[in-house]
Amino acid sequence: MKMSLRIKLSLMMFLEFAIWGAWMPTLYRYLITDVGEHGLGFSHDQASWIFAALWLACMVAPFIGGQIVDRWIPTQWFLAAVHFLGGLVLLTMTAHKTFDKMMPAMVIYALLYAPTLALTASLCFHHLTNADKQFGSIRAFGTIGWIAAGWGLTLWRVLAAKQGVTVPGDMLHLAGWCSLAMALTCCFLPHTPPKKQAEKPWAFVEAFRLLRNRQFALFLIISFVVTTGLQFYYLPTGTFLTTKTGVGFQPKYEALLLTVSQVAEGIVMLTLLALALKKLGVRKTLAIGVIAWPLRYVVFAMYQTVPVWLVVGSLALHGVGYTFFFVVSQIYVDRVAPKDIRASAQALLTLMTLGLGSFLGAKFTGWIMGMLTKDGVPNWTWIFLIPCSITVACALAFLLFFKEPPPAAAVAGAPADTGEPEPYEGIPDEEPPAPEGI
């Protein structure tokens, strides 16, 4: 791969996740903080619906985006357009002070951003000569972008506080400008044209036909269940770490503590991902990724009896889980999907995980939190043991029932390193026998 191409793809991933990382970790606190303290004073229910907008958008928008770039418009120009519009929406959201205005704006933004999560991956895969070896090192810049956005926002707040300056909605300002920078960057991405010569015009319909393959359907079902359990990390962990009923850190350290996960994620992507795929294959790598999460949940559940450093250190297991599960899932889908519907196939994965799984998981997490909280005190041990059991079951399901897919070269019918993107022929109707052992 040419260095110029690597730089362009890495910058694309950096900005794609810097946008998300700019607002995702800190927006909730801004929404529920009292107006007198420079927040919006929303209720928890209203704030949860603001966040749910993205998960709901992930059920619809990726298929629309996938259809457009698979059939009609080059991917890089579609990405440039939606990020430009998304940046404008984010900047206008900084002026909204009521739920009636903020909610519609968030829905519009979510519909613009949701397709880009799958499309940046599909564009990247399109230009790689060996995705198993190359994708991890490029995707790692997305993690670096997320960390950079969080640290940059923290630095700004520290400097602003020294000057006595407060900018309500500063995370939306940062995300908006990152989105506009991403729009400009997309104009210089390599040309990724639609497959206009495809015999079947509706790519998203063909993506659903992949479900006829039992192994692909099993993969999506397990992935869906995994992501429902992961919301027990995304929603309550900040509160768990920074309240007296939990670990007891001061709230100002929340963002810094949570970046432990992203730092570990970046290290794993750069050092272990390609090696794990080569030595262990997709099936075992996915299982290891999933099993990392219940290990963390066990430590969380034992927070009263284990050292604090172990609780903080266990956050690194999220980085292992995210890389070995989410990133490897994208590699698997790219490997088995026919080349003319890969963007739509990635959208199907987004639907089942970030869309349906995350939305239902968030609602399930909220229900469990309510059930296991008495007099304002959560029973953290049982709250974390529930997703522990869910993710253990999913890891076992991958090992016992999911078969190792053919290697990339076998699917393509050609050597892996040809110097050109591999022309995968798609998922076979019959799977090869599973290797012995687990």
Q: Which residue has the higher pLDDT, 290 or 52?
A: 290
Q: Give the confidence band of 429 by pLDDT, cuts at 50, 70, 90.
A: very low
Structure tokens at 398: 């991958």
Expressed as residue numbers, the domain containing 271 is 201-406
Residue 331 has pLDDT above 70, yes or no: yes
Whether residues 228 and 294 fall in one domain? yes
Q: Considering Cα of 82, then 83, then 86, then 91, what sign does the dihedral take?
A: negative
Total structural domains in the chain?
A: 2
Q: Measure the CA–CA gap between 149 and 403, rounded to whole angstroms.
A: 38
Final residue belonging to a domain, choices 144, 162, 192:
192
- Say what the pLDDT of residue 416 is: 39
For residue 438, being part of any structural domain is answered with no
Lowest-confidence region among 80-84, 164-168, 310-314? 164-168
Question: Could you tell me if 131 and 231 lie in one domain?
Answer: no
Residue 292 binned pLDDT confidence (cut-offs 50, 70, 90): very high
In contact, 343 and 61? CB cutoff 8 Å? no
Does 80 lie in the same domain as 50?
yes
* Residue 426, domain member (yes or no): no
With bands split at pLDDT 50, 70 and 90, how would you rate the model's confidence at 424?
A: very low
Q: Tell whether 173 and 279 lie within a shared domain.
A: no
**Are 162 and 32 in the same domain?**
yes
pLDDT, position 198: 52
Does residue 420 lie in a domain region?
Answer: no
Q: How far is CA 59 from CA 53, 115, 348, 353, in A?
A: 10, 10, 8, 9
Q: Tell me what the pLDDT averaged over the chain comes to.
A: 81
For position 200, what pLDDT does the model report?
Answer: 53
Predicted confidence (pLDDT) at residue 415 exceeds the cutoff of 70 = no
Asked if 5 and 138 count as a contact pair (C-beta separation under 8 A), the reply is no
**In the structure, what pLDDT confidence band is assigned to residue 422 with cuts at 50, 70 and 90?**
very low
237 and 93 fall within a common domain: no
Q: What CA–CA distance (Å, rounded) separates 227 from 155?
A: 32
The confidence score (pLDDT) of residue 263 equals 86
Q: For residue range 82-115, what is the model confidence (pLDDT) as tens digits?
A: 999 999 999 999 888 889 999 999 999 999 998 8
Same domain, 210 and 326: yes
Instruction: Return the minimum-mean-pLDDT range out of 127-141, 265-279, 302-316, 420-434.
Output: 420-434
pLDDT score at 407 = 66
Highest mean pLDDT among 18-27, 216-225, 255-264, 354-363: 216-225
Place of tokens 């974390």: 384
Q: Is residue 424 included in any domain, yes or no?
A: no
Q: Tell if the pTM clears 0.85, that is, is over it.
A: no
Same domain, 164 and 311: no
In-domain check, residue 206: yes
Looking at residue 126, what is its pLDDT?
77
CB 108 within 8 A of CB 89: yes
Burial class (CB in 10 A: 0-12, 13-18, 19+), 95: exposed
The answer to whether residue 344 is domain-embedded is yes
Task: Over range 202-213, report the average pLDDT.
Answer: 71
In a domain, 340, yes or no: yes
Q: How far apart are CA 108 and CA 219, in angstroms?
A: 31
Q: What is the DSSP string of 302-346?
A: TTTTS-HHHHHHTTHHHHHHIIIIIIHHHHHHHHHS-GGGHHHHH
Q: Is residue 229 part of a domain?
A: yes
pLDDT bracket for residue 223 (50, 70, 90): very high
Confidence check: pLDDT of 435 > 60: no
- Asked whether residue 51 falls in the same domain as residue 96, the answer is yes
Identify whether residues 143 and 160 lie together within a single domain: yes
Q: If pLDDT is split at 50, 70 and 90, which confidence band does 182 have?
A: very high
End-to-end CA distance of the chain: 34
Select the more confidently predicted residue: 142 or 350: 142
Question: Do 212 and 187 belong together in one domain?
Answer: no
Is the pLDDT reported for residue 330 higher than 90? Answer: no
**What CATH number does residue 353 fall under?**
1.20.1250.20
- Give the pLDDT confidence score for residue 277 in this predicted structure: 87
